[in-house]
Amino acid sequence: MQCDSARLVALARANDREALDALTRCFGDRLIAVGRRACRSDVEAEDAVQDALLGAVTHLDGYRGDGPLEAWVVRLVTRACGRLRRGQKNQPAEDLDVLALASDTADPERAAAMGERARALGAALNSLSPRDRLVLLLAEGQGWTAPEIAQETGTTPTAVRARLVRARRAVRDQLGPAFEGG
């Protein structure tokens, strides 16, 4: 299977049944990885990727062709995650399994402290805007550089760096009390 953007666009515009399959085979793994970073859970990530792929095939007229097709579909995934989050804005984060984190230690006091820190980190990350959270997780969690993140999110490296500074400061400010004393 060739992952040529022009071929994929032509398939989708011709309403070819293979267009969705081809997009999934070419970009599926990358889209799932982005979805897992941008959404709150694996289930939401899978839903976001599915929505993005269907949207890409049905609304390909929105793709101008001035950038890689994959980057356009990645942006659709991050936007789908944002829509999912807005619908669940007031629900607590369900992506941190605090019990699993705490069960790795034999010392109950240490386990309790780890659980509190995990909750604080989850709350701090969830308080960020979806784009700031994505940028921070790509940089800190995946080790991506500002130019890589800029390409992925459709922004400039300067904007990415500014978002990173803002996101790190916000998380540090919120985590201060939870992480004092070691």
Q: What is the pLDDT of residue 182?
A: 46
Domain span at 20: 5-87
Lowest mean pLDDT among 25-29, 58-62, 118-122, 172-176: 58-62
Q: What is the pLDDT of residue 161?
A: 92
Answer with the one of 36, 52, 87 that is the final residue of a domain: 87
- Residue with the bigger pLDDT between 169 and 61: it is 169
What does the pLDDT look like over 66-85, one tens digit per residue? 777 788 888 888 888 888 77
3-state SS string over the chain? CCCCHHHHHHHHHCCCCHHHHHHHHHHHHHHHHHHHHHCCCHHHHHHHHHHHHHHHHHCHHHCCCCCCHHHHHHHHHHHHHHHHHHHCCCCCCCCCCHHHHHCCCCCHHHHHHHHHHHHHHHHHHHHCCHHHHHHHHHHHHCCCCHHHHHHHHCCCHHHHHHHHHHHHHHHHHHHHHHHCCC
Answer with the one of 58, 87, 116 that is the final residue of a domain: 87
What integer best gives the mean pLDDT of the chain?
77
Asked if residue 53 is part of any domain, the answer here is yes
Asked if residue 46 has pLDDT above 70, the reply is: yes
Q: What is the pLDDT of residue 5?
A: 78
Q: For position 57, which CATH number holds? A: 1.10.1740.10
Label residue 26 by pLDDT band (50, 70, 90): confident
Asked if residue 98 has pLDDT above 80, the reply is: no
Q: With 0.75 as the threshold, say if the pTM is over it.
A: no
State mean pLDDT over 111-123.
75
- Residue with the bigger pLDDT between 120 and 177: it is 120
- Does residue 61 sit in the same domain as residue 9? yes
Q: What is the pLDDT of residue 101?
A: 42
Answer with the one of 41, 63, 87 that is the final residue of a domain: 87
